[in-house]
Amino acid sequence: MSDHAARAAEFVADQSRMHWHDQAVWFIRSKRDVARSFVPEWEELRSLGSQIKAHTLSRLPDYLEEFEKNAVAAGARVHWARDADEHNRIVHGILRDHGVARLVKSKSMLTEECHLNEYLEEHGVEVVDTDLGERIVQFRREPPSHIVMPAIHLKKEEIGELFHHKLGTPVGLADPKQLAEAARGHLREKFLGAQAGLTGVNFAIASTGSVVVCTNEGNADLGTSLPPIHIACMGVEKIVPSPSELAVFLRLLARSATGQPITTYTSHFQGPRPGAEMHIVIVDHGRSRILAREEYRNSLKCIRCGACMNTCPVYRRSGGHSYGVTVAGPIGSVLAPHIDPKKHADLPFASSLCGSCTDVCPVRIDLHHQLLTWRGELASLGLVPLHKRVVSRVGAWLLARTWAYRIFGKLLRVFAPHIPNPWTRQRDLPPMPRESFRAQWRKRVRPR
């Protein structure tokens, strides 16, 4: 089992960095607060988004087939992948058939989830992530720490040093504008040399067969306009019925994600451009298992805005990498155990259950309730440490008996200050009162 608590403690140990990270991510949450306050109907919009997703998920197979039919009619090729492995093989197959050795990619958390880059590199394909944040973490050979801002864990000085080594920028250059300029120059060459472009998908419209990609850098547009092959990879849950529903999500997405009214680029792709090819890979990878579980179904409504991460007091102070999964934070902690409950049994416990994620979610996913539901499921699967189970069982036995509780309470007040435990490592215990409330109440009701 992986251990969020241990990695979080490491992150916290560097206090100044932890505070810097907390402030940087909180700044995005604050921007979101401002952006949504310009939309008076925000709460209704969240409900509407949630209901549209609920409806779409309730007839997902129909919408997927409708999408496939319309996408094919527009000239795209549609591929279906059961899991990460099949997805990777399909993408590689397309590239192999066309003799592609150089691929440019815009941001796609699905391909991160499937570890596509590693797979393609093993098969001799050069993969270049063209989203600036993604390129930075790719240079560092590490996963993104945030789904919207993949390199949010890095300071500009660290990026300057990285670019000095990778792109030959002057030593000590840490000006974000100049660093971005250097990356632009570097990526421009990669765009020009690419033989295929891969994008993620934010929304797939069933009635038109088109896919919608939202970016701020325009890299998806360049990556699909230059090379003759466009591969778009999407999870099955990305479907919306028609363009009018899309409008609801476009209003919710960027405001929740970065506090922008809308992303700089919202690109619609309906079939390939003349003389080019468009492939759409539709991936399940555990999603239909979630769909089958009523108590977790809501989590498939996620539009990957990252707002739950930005608001999460734990995420902000433990960093995305502490979760050990592609999608970190509250939504990641709800999704990951579906793939491997044993490996990710720590994640549903990496939360104080404060509920801020639930209130910030643009599609009203009951995130903190799902985390609690997972705790129950992990406990019944026997995936919670034995000592916890014993403490709970013994505690419940004592507390179910008033006499035992009273004796235990008395003993606790006498002995607790002398027993070392995680509480007293950084905190004092309150001064122990001589008498409990109930003892004092008795005297109050029946004074001697």
Partner 1 sequence: MEVALFVPCYIDQLYPRVGLATAELLERNGVTVHFPEAQTCCGQPMANSGFFDDARQLARKMLDVFSPYEHVVCPSGSCTSMVRNHYPMLLPDDPRATALRAKTHELCEFLHDVLQVRPRGRFAARVGLHQSCHALRELRLGSGSERLVPAYSKIGTLLEGIEGLKLAELTRSDECCGFGGTFTMTEEAISCAMGRDRIADHERAGAEMITGADSSCLMHLEGLLRRDGKKLRVLHVAELLEEATR
Residues numbered 366-395 forming contacts with partner 1, rule: CB under 8 A:
372, 374-380, 384, 388-389, 392-393, 395
Task: Show the tokens assigned to 427.
Answer: 């905190």
The least CB distance from residue 349 to partner 1, in Å, is 6
Q: How far is CA 281 from each of CA 93, 205, 238, rounded to the nearest angstrom?
A: 12, 14, 12
The binder of partner 1 chosen from 43, 62, 121, 189 (CB under 8 A)? 43
141 binds partner 1 (CB under 8 A): no
Q: Judged by CB, which is closer to partner 1: 191, or 315?
A: 315
Instruction: Please name the residues in contact with 186: beta carbons below 8 A apart, sequence gap of 6 or more.
Output: 167
In the sheet that holds 102-105, the strands lie side by side as 77-81, 277-283, 229-235, 196-199, 102-105, 126-129
Sole window of 33-41, 78-86, 137-145, 274-282 interacting with partner 1 (rule: CB under 8 A): 33-41
Sole window of 3-11, 119-127, 160-168, 206-214 interacting with partner 1 (rule: CB under 8 A): 3-11
Lay out the site mask for partner 1 across 297-326 (x = CB under 8 A, - = otherwise).
--------------x-xx--xx--------
Closest CA to 230 of 257, 270, 259: 270
- Cα–Cα distance for residue pair 247/397, rounded to 1 Å: 54
- Cα–Cα distance for residue pair 242/357, rounded to 1 Å: 28
Q: Judged by CB, which is closer to partner 1: 292, or 445?
A: 445
End-to-end CA distance of the chain: 58
Residues in contact with partner 1, counted by CB under 8 A, come to a total of 78
Q: Judged by CB, which is closer to partner 1: 117, or 356?
A: 356
24 binds partner 1 (CB under 8 A): no
Residues 401-440 that bind partner 1 (CB under 8 A): 401-402, 405, 409, 412-413, 421-423, 425-430, 432-433, 435-440
Residues 159-188 that bind partner 1 (CB under 8 A): none
The least CB distance from residue 317 to partner 1, in Å, is 5
Q: Judged by CB, which is closer to partner 1: 40, or 274?
A: 40
The least CB distance from residue 214 to partner 1, in Å, is 22
443 binds partner 1 (CB under 8 A): no
- Cα–Cα distance for residue pair 389/346, rounded to 1 Å: 15
Kindly state the DSSP code that residue 363 receives in the 8-state scheme. T
Q: What angle do CA 134, 280, 117 make, to 5 degrees?
A: 30
Q: Judged by CB, which is closer to partner 1: 181, or 423?
A: 423
Lay out the site mask for partner 1 across 338-357 (x = CB under 8 A, - = otherwise).
----------xxxxxxxxx-
The least CB distance from residue 261 to partner 1, in Å, is 15
Asked if residue 117 lies in contact with residue 127, where contact means CB atoms within 8 angstroms, the answer is yes
Asked if residue 370 lies in contact with residue 296, where contact means CB atoms within 8 angstroms, the answer is yes
- Cα–Cα distance for residue pair 95/66, rounded to 1 Å: 27
